[in-house]
Structures are given as structure tokens and as C-alpha cells.
A and B are shown apart, each in its own frame.
Chain A
Amino acid sequence: MRLTFFVIRRLLQLIPVLIGVSVITFTTARLLPGNAAIMAAGPLASPEDIERLEKHMKLDRPIWEQYFAYVNDIFHGDFGKSWRTGRPVLVELWEHFPASFELVTFSLFVAILIGIPLGVVAAIRQGSRLDQLLRGISVGGISIPVFWSGLVAIFVFYFLLKIAPPPIGRIGFSVRPPEHVTGFYILDSILTLNGPALASSLSQLALPSLTLIIAMTSPIIRITRSSMLDVLKEDYIRSAKASGLRRPVILFRDALKNALLPVITLIGGYYGYSLGGEVLVEQIFSWPGMGRYSVEAIFNLDYAPVQAFVMLTAVLYVAIYTIVDVLYAIIDPRIRY
């Protein structure tokens, strides 16, 4: 019950956050150098054309007036339209969100499954060869940029070995995307019992998620290891050992549970960032995700999508950290809200 209140309170805190975010993105988007009307008019336009367009896009009005018009529209459920496509940005974001969500969620899930056990092993065997090897691998994983590992993965697995599908996005050549139910290809393929689409969308996921898993696993290994090491030095672990509890029980019930708190914080932040921030991976694998969508919008001074994207990211962050806090309370009974 208390937890429910906590969640509601958290969600109410969204309101000031969103007001702040909207002011900041609205002004910074307009502080970007350049003139959106010139971009929208294209190269073959006369000054009269551009003037007409400025009026149409309401760019000739004072910035505070533009802001209040924007906020007013939001209260009517209108987040604006992209000038490049003439479509409502919420519709467009919702089209790009499932791509990011599937890729990032799957990759992070696998990275957690690999990273936490390896981190625990490294901590238990502190100083051993295995520990040194894992530390080497995780330093490597952090240092290798994704645009490099991604391109190498494509070259090796697609071009040389021909075992991976081509880097053409979420679904392969000549396979139709599943019938639209939710926009999540994997889910939709299962719901509509579409085998080829499921196979294709899963296999398209292999290389980009491999690239992300390499990048995501390393920090998880490192933080699990160091957090585990701290916990293993605690008195209660020594007491547990002294009272003759079996090693696995100590490790997983007493040590790991306490060591997980910083790991979860890291993963939460990572998840929030990755949903909109994996621009490079999306670029390399032709993945139609939110990161690429928003970067394209910035390059074209397409304000409405940029603003909506930042707001959506803010909402996602708040949601993820709320879940993280709830998980805290579940893992550590001392934490009460």
C-alpha cells in the first residue's frame, strides 16, 4: 500500500520535471544555429518563399508566444508535426519506439544474464587467472567503440561467413513485417502466428544485439565484481561463515542480494539512456529506432520531433527509476518508502 503511494507520488513528480524539460528543449532547439524555414524550403527557394514559410511555421512570432502556443497544443494532445513528413510526432515516435525497445531490452537482458554471474565469479576468485582474464575482457568491452565492433561483426558474420542476415533493419529481404497489432515485431509475429516474420525479426536482432551485449556486459561485470568484493568483506558474511552456513547460501542469499543494489542502479540508468541513445548501433544496422529518428530531426531543425523525443525520454527515465526504487525495497527490506 505504501509502495502504491510512493509510485503515485513519483508519477506526480513528473509534472514539474516535464515543465522544466519542455522549457529547456524548446529554447535549446531554437538556439541551434540555422533557420528551420530555410531548411524546409529547400535549396530552390526565393526569399519570398522563405518568408511565406516562416509565417506558415509561425517562426515570425516571439519565442514566448511560440512556447505558450506549443504548451497549449500539448494540453489538447497535439505534440506538433514534423515538417519533413507532415505527420504528428507522437505517431512517428510510437513507430520508432518498438524498434529501440526490442533491441535494447533483449540486449540488456542477455547482458545481465552474462554479466552478473561473471562478476560474482570474478569477485569470489579475486586475483585468480580467471579474474584477471575477466577484467581484461571487460576493459576491452568498455573500450571498443560500438561503431567498430558493429562493422566488424557485419563484415565477418554477414559478408565473409554468410551466417548472419544483412544489416537492413528489423526484418529481412522479402519477408513482410507481421501484421500490425502493437508495432513490436516479435510480439506481433507471435500474436499473428507468423513464423517467417518471427524467425526473420529474431535473426535480424542477432548482430546488433551482439554488438550491444559486448558493450553492455562489461560495465555490469565490473560493478558486480567490485560491489560483491565490498559485501564479502562485511562482518555479517564473516559471521555467516563462522556459523557454518554453506557457501552457496552465503554467496547468493546474503552476499549477492546486498551487492545487487548498485548493479540495479547502473542497469536502470543504462536502460534509460539506451532506449533513445543507441544512435550509432541504429545507424550501423539500419535499425529504425528512436535515436536515429531524433538525430535526423536535429540535423534538419525539425523542432517538434526533437521536443517530443526529449519529453518521452524524460518520462522513460522517471518510469525506470521508479521501478529501480521499487526493486530496492523488494531486495532490501530495510528500505521503506
Chain B
Amino acid sequence: MKRSLVVLLSMLVGLALCAPLALAGDFTVAVGAELEGWDPHTAIFFLANEINWNTYDRLLTFETIPADESPYGVEMIDSTRLKGMLAESWELEENGKVVVFHLRKGVIFPSGNEFTSEDVRYSIERKWEIPTASRWILNVMGLSTLDNMVVVDDYTIKFILDAPNAIFLPGWAFLSTMSIVDATELKKHVTDDDPYGHDYLNLNIVPTGPYTLESYVPGSEVILKAYEGYWGGVPTTDRIIYKVVPEEANRVLLLKSGDVDMAYFISAEQVSSQLMDAPGVNVFSIPTAGSQYFCLQTTREPLYNTLVRRAIAYAVPYDDLIENVMYGFASRATSPVPTLTAFHKDVYPYDYNPDKARELLAQAGYGPGDITLTLSYRLDNPDEEAVAIYLKDALDDVGINVIIDKVASTRFSEMRGSQDYEMALLFWIPYVNNPVYQLSYGYHSSSGCCNYGRYTNATFDAMLDAAKAETDPVVQEGLVNAMQELIAGEVPIILLYHPNRQITIRDNVTGYVYWTNFLVRYDVMSAE
């Protein structure tokens, strides 16, 4: 019995060793979560967005800064220099209120259809009409009704914005949800039950970009195949193979042993203990424009009081958090506009200073133990758990009692929506890395989305509206600077740090371009 088992097992092992190796031109990526629901106009999961990023084109993209000129040793985008993608050029009319796109001619999609303005129009119509798609981003970009989208001819499309809008153009370049779909092809799959082909597109792709869908095994893998006729040139990587490997430790082992070319979502702890010195593995640690922060409910006492908020800002041991929670893979936040965003200026006066914090609390009329606050955070995030413990200790130290409130992440998203908390740990990645967008998310009283502390300040709102409509970059920078100073004084939220993004990749991989939204485009990469 036992002997035959041994024989069987050794046979299996032998067969496994005979299995063919990955083909040249394949790029294999180990990812940590499911790849699903990838209709570009409704997708909310990162990996679905990445599939869209590689299979659909957008109207605009950015120029890049070459690796040898970039401070982090990898090629990265320059978010101040837009470049045409499916749009060949664009022009602003009426002082920026009207934007006209001139589309690229002669672009043939994998279906054989030619790209026209109807593809753009239909894509935006889908984004607007599908009930599960968020209209918010279109509103933020200045589009309040579909009537303001005007098809001029087959290669020209015009958008009439509510007002000049600084986020409109970068939005087209940064957001995978602004993907252009192959309208002619998609319309073949539209049914009465599914008027925009939403169910169809969640599982299929009507590509307009460099890759097409080769195969999909639910829960296991997605394979994308290069489209030889891509207008931007034949992709250098022939196939992208995404393998779902939910366990982080296994993604690390797969990368170390060279079975995959790249691994996603490796925590700071694993990178520092497993990958920094691993042979054959390159680690790039690059600051992100994302912020880990600590949101204060500014509508109620005592957090309504600016002095209390400042006191808290002085009570946080920033460097300890970066060193001990993030293993050094993070940088200090010195402004509501992150270091990696245009117009950033160091404006935060706050450093770890418990004496100053006690002083400010006394000034506000609160003695030690007078204030008790509840700190809520999601229980499935170990980093935030560690941060919460540090914050509780630090605030206890200056005389503020903290009650820790761990919340299931499903309930947490509901709390965040209704701002039903006193203090909460939150993380924000701006998909549009633009100073005006950065400032509008968390601070504008009618941002409609992400002002999770309900901060209201009429002066700030007026400055932001002006900056959003401003087309002169010098004036805009002046406004952004003034807003940074104002927020630094008011501290409606406490910025803790900007986590780095760890790019964990085999050392033979070339062509990686860092985007602040973390999405990777494989058509210029290779693992030869």
C-alpha cells in the first residue's frame, strides 16, 4: 500500500518536472486577489482596473521621465505633461470651458472596426447610464449632463463643461474608468435585459488597446494576448499571465524562485525581511501620492475646536510610525498636497511634541482626562491596527482617552459613507494625481464623495472653486499654495504618512513605468 503511494507520488513529481517552461515573451504576475467584474465603466477592484488598463486605451496619457533622470531609479510619468493617446490633439475654447478632442485617424481595433468619435460618445454614455457606474467622477470632471457632449464629426468630439475644470484633462489620462470601448463590437452583444452590455463586458473585453483577452479561469488566472495591429506599435510582451495567489508568503516564494516575473501587494514587513537582499529580485521603493490619515469628525466638540485638532497633530509620533509600522517604507506627510503631486510645498509645522500638545489642550480649556474619543478602524488591516495602538498610547500620553473600535470592513465602508464616527483611520489613493483633485477630495464641503470629516470652510471652498476653474498655471499655483497653508493651520484631518509603493520584480525585467495610480502597462515591458 505504502510503497505504491510512494511510487505514485514520485511519478507525479517526475511528471511535474517534465512540464514545459514558460514561453519566451510571456510575462507572469502573481496577484493577491480575484480578477473579476472588469467592465471598465463600473470596475472598482484594482486588478480589474489593471486588466482594463492593458486592454483599453484612453484619450490621453502622460509623457514619462526616463529612469536615469528619475529620483527613484525607475521610469515614471510626468503628471504635468499630457500626451495624446487615442486623441491626437486637443484644444481649449472659451477660456477652457469647452474642450475639443481631435481623434487619431486610422486606428483599427482587434475586431477590425475603425476608431471614431462614436466609440468615445458611447463609452461616456455607458459611464453615465449604467446604474452600477459612479457618475461622481464625471461630475468632478465638470460634466453635469450628457447633452454637453457633442459629436462634431467622425474624428472630433467636444465637451462643454460647467466651468473651466483643472481635473478634466488629467482625468482622461489617469482613470481606467475613462477607457474607450469598441462601441460597434459591444453593441452586437447588447440585449433588452442588458442595454449597455454590462454583463457581457464584465466577462469579455472589446479591446481598443494593446492586449486582448486570451483566456480566463475564474478564481485562478487571466491571460492577455498582444494585439499585433496596435497603433502604438507591437507590444514587447506577447502574453501577460495573471495568476491569483491569495497567500502573500507564496507570492514571495514564487518571485524569489523566479517562477513569476513580478509579484503584487507585498507588505512592507515581507519586503524588508524577505526580498531586500534576495538574489535575482529587484525592489524599488517609491513614494506614493496616497496618504494614510486619521480623520476627525469636525462637526462636533471637541474636534470642532481647531486647537484640539492641532494638539492631536502635535501628539502623533510620526517617525515611530514610519519606522515601526512601515519598516521605513514611508515618508512624512508635510502638506495636504503630497510630495509627488504638482505644486507641493512643505507647510506642516507639526512634529512630535507632546508638551506642545498638552499646552494647546490647556489653551482650549481641556485638562488631562477631560476628552474621550473613539478611534475606529477596519479589522482586516494589520498596519492600521498597529497605527491605532501607537495613536492610543500617544494620545493617552497627552491626556486624551482613546477608545479603540475595530470594525468589520463591510460595516466600515458604511460608517465612512455616513461619517458615523469620531476619529477613523483611512487610506486614500488619488487616482488623479493633481493638486486640485487632491484638495477637493477631503476638504471641500460639497465634494460629494470623500470629505469624511465633514470639514466646512467657506474661504477654502471659494479658493478651491477658483483654482479648479483657473487655466493660468501661475495663478493656480498661488491658490494651491494658499490652500495648503490654510489646511496646515486648520488640520481637519491628521496626515500620518505617505506609504511607499514597493515594486517587487525580477532583475531581468525592463520597461517598467511607475504610475501614481499603481497600474502597470505591459506593452513596453519585457522579461527577457
Contacts and interface: CB of A to CB of B under 8 A. Distances in A.
Interface of A: 32-35, 38-50, 52-53, 55-56, 81, 83-87, 92, 95-96, 99, 110, 113, 117, 151, 154-155, 158-159, 162-177, 196, 199-200, 202-203, 206, 283-284, 286, 288-289, 292-293, 296, 299-301
Contact of A42 (B44, B218, B245, B257): B44
A293 B220 CA distance: 11
Contacts of A159: 253, 256-257
A203 B246 contact: no
B34 A39 contact: no
B301 interface: no
Contacts of B15: 199-200, 202-203
B245 A168 contact: yes
A169 B245 CA distance: 8
Interface stretch (B92-100, B338-346, B355-363, B408-416): B408-416
B255 to A, nearest CB: 11
B26 interface: yes
A86 B131 contact: no
Contact of B220 (A158, A169, A203): A169
A284 B450 contact: no
Given A46-B449, A85-B37, A286-B247, A206 B410 contact: no
Contacts of B431: 44
A110 B1 CA distance: 11
Contact of A85 (B28, B131, B202): B202
Nearest to A41: B134
Contacts of A33: 407-408, 410-411, 414
A39 B410 contact: yes
Given A34-B410, A48-B135, A173-B241, 20 more contacts: A38-B414, A48-B136, A49-B136, A84-B37, A96-B218, A96-B219, A117-B1, A151-B249, A159-B256, A164-B13, A166-B253, A167-B253, A167-B254, A169-B221, A172-B16, A173-B22, A199-B15, A286-B244, A288-B217, A288-B220
B16 A164 contact: yes
B254 A84 contact: no
The 7 closest A-B pairs by CB, nearest first: A288-B219, A34-B410, A42-B44, A33-B411, A199-B15, A203-B16, A56-B131
A38 B249 CA distance: 31
Contacts of B380: 299
A170 B254 CA distance: 16
B148 interface: no
A299 B409 contact: yes
B36 interface: yes
B417 A47 contact: yes
B191 interface: no
B112 to A, nearest CB: 26
Contacts of A53: 131-132
Contact of B1 (A87, A113, A154, A288): A113
A113 to B, nearest CB: 7
B9 A206 contact: yes
Nearest to B408: A33
A49 B246 contact: no
Question: Which of A87, A95, A154, A174 has the largest count of B CB atoms less than 10 A from its CB?
Answer: A174
B37 A206 contact: no
B478 interface: no
A296 to B, nearest CB: 6
Interface residues of B, number: 67
Interface in B1-49: 1, 5, 9, 12-13, 15-23, 26, 28, 30, 34, 36-37, 39, 44-45
Given A168-B254, A206-B12, A286 B220 contact: yes
A318 B139 CA distance: 53
A173 B132 contact: no
A155 B449 CA distance: 45
Contact of A39 (B18, B26, B413): B413
Contact of A44 (B18, B136, B217, B241): B136
B244 A169 contact: yes
Contacts of B13: 163-164, 203, 206
B203 A86 contact: yes
Contacts of A174: 19-23, 26
A139 B44 CA distance: 46
B7 to A, nearest CB: 13
A193 B250 CA distance: 32
Contacts of A41: 44, 132, 134
B70 to A, nearest CB: 28
Interface string B239-273: 00101111101100110110100000000000000
B247 A167 contact: yes
Nearest to A290: B219
B477 interface: no
Contacts of B131: 52-53, 55-56
Given A43-B44, A172-B16, A286-B250, A38 B413 contact: yes
A96 B139 CA distance: 39
Contacts of A81: 199
A327 to B, nearest CB: 22
Nearest to A155: B253
Interface string B172-192: 000000000000000000000
Nearest to A32: B410
Given A33-B414, A47-B417, A48-B135, A170 B37 contact: no
Given A35-B417, A43-B450, A203-B15, A301 B410 contact: yes
